[in-house]
Structure 1
């Protein structure tokens, strides 16, 4: 492993030789870093130790801040183009993806399993962030970096394995961490250098995660469709009004039917004799005395005469 002094010397030589390289390129017309001259040489990262206790070692700190400063000074768009170029190069190395361009290369598993292939190269990852903290940068870094942001991101193909991202810029809404009341934010994109395989502790065990050094976090929160929300409120209000109108009409209709029924019943009652009246009339008729017809006078006299006649003689 390189000592801190050797890494500082190497970084200094790269800085000194950069103008000479550009001058040579102007003369020869060749660019040794084609097609993206802003991309660092992966060989600078060869001595960075993976799975080391303590995260970024003291001997790696100079290169660590050098990369972060380099990212600040270069265009994010150029970084993304270089990352896409690296991705296509990797696809060309794998037969399955070379023969089937429609297939998507699972980038996280490939980085996780092939760290030596990806170390020191730019990549672009998209996923969701579940942890975001910020802390002061080392005071003795010579690039004037004041604050570092640390994000733990999970991609669609990383399952439960995180990517640890260190950057120097975040959107204003994330300056103090995740939004209040939020445990996770989605639609986060980061482009940066694969620095090393980072060792961390989790639930009484040690785990590893790729460590990415980036310029910034890009967050695209889902937009709320205000027009759609207003339309929903209008539809809901209209439905409520129609429902209440329907209920009111049904109540009014039932009331009208009850009123009509009562009126018809009243008219029917007035045209009929009640059973009480019929019963009273029958009782009165039964209690009236019967008048006997007068006796026949002729019959009576005849009867009287026959009663007064003498009895028949024995002769007759």
Structure 2
């Protein structure tokens, strides 16, 4: 059977017995009129409701909670049901027990102290319970710093859009007594330089996973945005906000398409599709649909004038220079650090003083490419320690995620490579290290998708092969459909030359109008698409596919396939007889050969008839030897003979039966010799002699 399509219905979480228990418990708790979950007299009973999913997510291991933006910190908790629609965040806060007495706890002009800690955590807990559509509806389009400065007390709890550069982040552990009560184990503090030049302090429940592994952060590191609930002003006069999470755009192709890179934090590289993958899946699908026609195709084109670099070979200057600039401040081995080490001092000064977000002038880019081309001849540019995270998925059990042609060069590195091979090898290593910044000089390979998928997430690939499945998937969630702006997409299974019998799953927004759809196809396709994850699915494997990688909970075989998201399919239709002139030539040739065969057959038949007449029929009319034509007796009759009719009439008058017709075979030869015939012949001969 075909792999289960990724539809919104598969993302719905069923109500578990544990969830029912907590709902009944909350209802009984409200009915008894006891104190709230936080034991605060002023809080409403609505705050006792806690989403069942949160209870389950509290059992996550510390590694999952701290190492990634877990569901605990980003899950959307249902807000309490209101008797009447609320008109703003302050009203909803009040329904959650965050009333004026709580807001009055906060004092401007100072940092959050121990006296404000409990009110701070209560408010942050309530922030998590806002629905996404409520936040979008109540957030203004622009940030008004003057309104906050004029009356900060009245603005507490209001929503504001925050866009800028995050320069510093820090994580703070919550004391156990508060962590258990509020289901919050960590709070993240970030400094953001806003577009108006003002610095804001933001306390959030989550930050992108990449921010946690790269501290301290350079001031130009992360372009980010979030929606903040205004809380107070700190001792430096900077506004303090509460937020749920950040969206960040680290430049590059994904940022150009307005794809939030933080959505990948929730995606599990392996396993079946789940609700954790939904945000990233639909974000890539929606962003790809916004791309201009042919944009992804151009960005994934293979350049054939390598290995030396030229200006068109650099797809993303800003991200490439930013990575080299950042590596210059770190001692960790990396491909960007290797490039920095091979630059001369003037070029290092140019990159070190480069302003983030500004494309260098042509002369600086030409100078950088000259230096980069000189590096291609260096035997020490590639170092296994610097490239280990790029090429190996598991350092303990290294398995190279390289195309086969690069494996051959790597086995010869460094002593057995010719100068030209060394340049090709270094170019290939740089392409693997900067896949979205440097154009490829050879065909795309799907090898890295199977052997090192974590490093390929968000990378643009070119999938060329045989599509054996193409089906239309409808989105049956009206709310999601309204958010995305479309109600369907297409799912294809493609087998490439180097996938070794394993399918590549690609979901796209568009396919050509005349392209066939169905389960059993053989259509040549070419699809530029972004890699999302390794999809584990169940299917009746084709004869040339690999064996199953595992079993699901029902004991059925599971298979792994890379899942990619793209915009459109480049389809090569099978040639039709009308469109291919070769078929016309073949048909004309067959017609001519048929005519020739018919003519030859007729000529041969004519020759056989002549031979038959000459050898058979002519003998029947030959005269006997010694007999002339004068001797042949022929009887001539001037008219028809009706004498037999008179005899028949006479017999009828007499009442006699007419003679029966003569059915005997006529004599074969009128001149057949009989005794009477011989005598008559002799008499005729005598008469003629006399």
Partner of 2:568: 216
- In structure 2, the CA distance between the partners of 1:76 and 1:7, relative to structure 1 (3 Å rule), is farther
Partner of 2:277: 60
Q: Residue 70 of structure 1: CA displacement?
A: 0.8
- In structure 2, the CA distance between the partners of 1:261 and 1:84, relative to structure 1 (3 Å rule), is closer
Q: Which of 436, 455, 478 lines up with 1:139 in the alignment?
A: 478
1:233 aligns with 2:452: no
Query: Larger C-alpha radius of gyration, 1 or 2?
Result: 1
What SS does the corresponding residue of 1:216 show, helix, strand or coil? coil
- In structure 2, the CA distance between the partners of 1:272 and 1:46, relative to structure 1 (3 Å rule), is farther
Alignment of 1:1-316 (within 5 A): 1-3=69-71, 6=74, 17=163, 33=251, 38=256, 40=259, 44-53=263-272, 55=273, 57-84=274-301, 96=409, 98-99=424-425, 107-137=445-475, 138-141=477-480, 142-174=483-515, 177-178=517-518, 183-202=520-539, 204-226=556-578, 227-262=581-616, 265=619, 270-271=624-625
- In structure 2, the CA distance between the partners of 1:130 and 1:240, relative to structure 1 (3 Å rule), is same
- In structure 2, the CA distance between the partners of 1:7 and 1:117, relative to structure 1 (3 Å rule), is farther
Q: Distance in 2 between matches of 1:189 and 1:171?
A: 12
1:227-273 C-alpha deviation (Å, 9 max, x unpaired): 33233222222221221111111111111122223477579864469
Q: Distance in 2 between matches of 1:248 and 1:214?
A: 64
- In structure 2, the CA distance between the partners of 1:190 and 1:5, relative to structure 1 (3 Å rule), is farther
Query: Does structure 1 retain, via aligned residues, the 8 Å contact 2:254–2:458?
Result: no
Q: Distance in 2 between matches of 1:185 and 1:169?
A: 18
- In structure 2, the CA distance between the partners of 1:190 and 1:103, relative to structure 1 (3 Å rule), is closer
- In structure 2, the CA distance between the partners of 1:16 and 1:270, relative to structure 1 (3 Å rule), is farther
Greater shift after overlay, 38-47 or 190-199?
A: 38-47
What SS does the corresponding residue of 1:236 show, helix, strand or coil? helix
Q: Distance in 2 between matches of 1:205 and 1:46?
A: 28
- In structure 2, the CA distance between the partners of 1:183 and 1:105, relative to structure 1 (3 Å rule), is same
Structure 1 runs not aligned, ≥5 long: 274-316
Aligned length: 255
Q: Distance in 2 between matches of 1:169 and 1:115?
A: 26
Q: Distance in 2 between matches of 1:17 and 1:145?
A: 28
What SS does the corresponding residue of 2:509 show, helix, strand or coil? strand
Higher helix share: 1
Q: Residue 118 of structure 1: CA displacement?
A: 0.9
Q: Distance in 1 between matches of 2:445 and 2:533?
A: 16
Instruction: Give me the TM-score of the superposition, normalised by structure 2.
Output: 0.32
- In structure 2, the CA distance between the partners of 1:17 and 1:80, relative to structure 1 (3 Å rule), is farther
Query: Does structure 2 retain, via aligned residues, the 8 Å contact 1:186–1:221?
Result: yes
- In structure 2, the CA distance between the partners of 1:37 and 1:46, relative to structure 1 (3 Å rule), is closer
Query: Does structure 1 retain, via aligned residues, the 8 Å contact 2:444–2:461?
Result: no
What SS does the corresponding residue of 1:63 show, helix, strand or coil? helix
Q: Distance in 2 between matches of 1:85 and 1:36?
A: 19
Q: Distance in 2 between matches of 1:58 and 1:151?
A: 21
- In structure 2, the CA distance between the partners of 1:191 and 1:207, relative to structure 1 (3 Å rule), is same
Q: Residue 214 of structure 1: CA displacement?
A: 1.1
- In structure 2, the CA distance between the partners of 1:85 and 1:248, relative to structure 1 (3 Å rule), is closer
Query: Does structure 1 retain, via aligned residues, the 8 Å contact 2:515–2:573?
Result: no
1:271-300 C-alpha deviation (Å, 9 max, x unpaired): 469xxxxxxxxxxxxxxxxxxxxxxxxxxx
Query: Does structure 1 retain, via aligned residues, the 8 Å contact 2:533–2:563?
Result: yes
Instruction: Give me the TM-score of the superposition, normalised by structure 1.
Output: 0.65
Q: Residue 166 of structure 1: CA displacement?
A: 1.3
1:38-91 C-alpha deviation (Å, 9 max, x unpaired): 2557664243112233x1x223322322211111111243223333489x899x
Cα RMSD after superposing both structures: 4.1
- In structure 2, the CA distance between the partners of 1:246 and 1:214, relative to structure 1 (3 Å rule), is same
Q: Distance in 1 between matches of 2:265 and 2:564?
A: 15
Give the number of the structure with larger relative contact order, counting CA–CA contacts within 8 Å between residues 6 or more apart: 1
Structure 2 runs not aligned, ≥5 long: 1-68, 77-131, 137-160, 166-192, 197-219, 221-248, 304-312, 315-334, 336-381, 388-401, 411-423, 429-439, 541-555, 628-690
Q: Residue 154 of structure 1: CA displacement?
A: 0.9
Query: Does structure 2 retain, via aligned residues, the 8 Å contact 1:42–1:119?
Result: no
1:7-40 C-alpha deviation (Å, 9 max, x unpaired): 898xx9xx97499x9x89xxx9xx9735886255
Q: Distance in 1 between matches of 2:72 and 2:472?
A: 25
Q: Distance in 1 between matches of 2:256 and 2:626?
A: 110
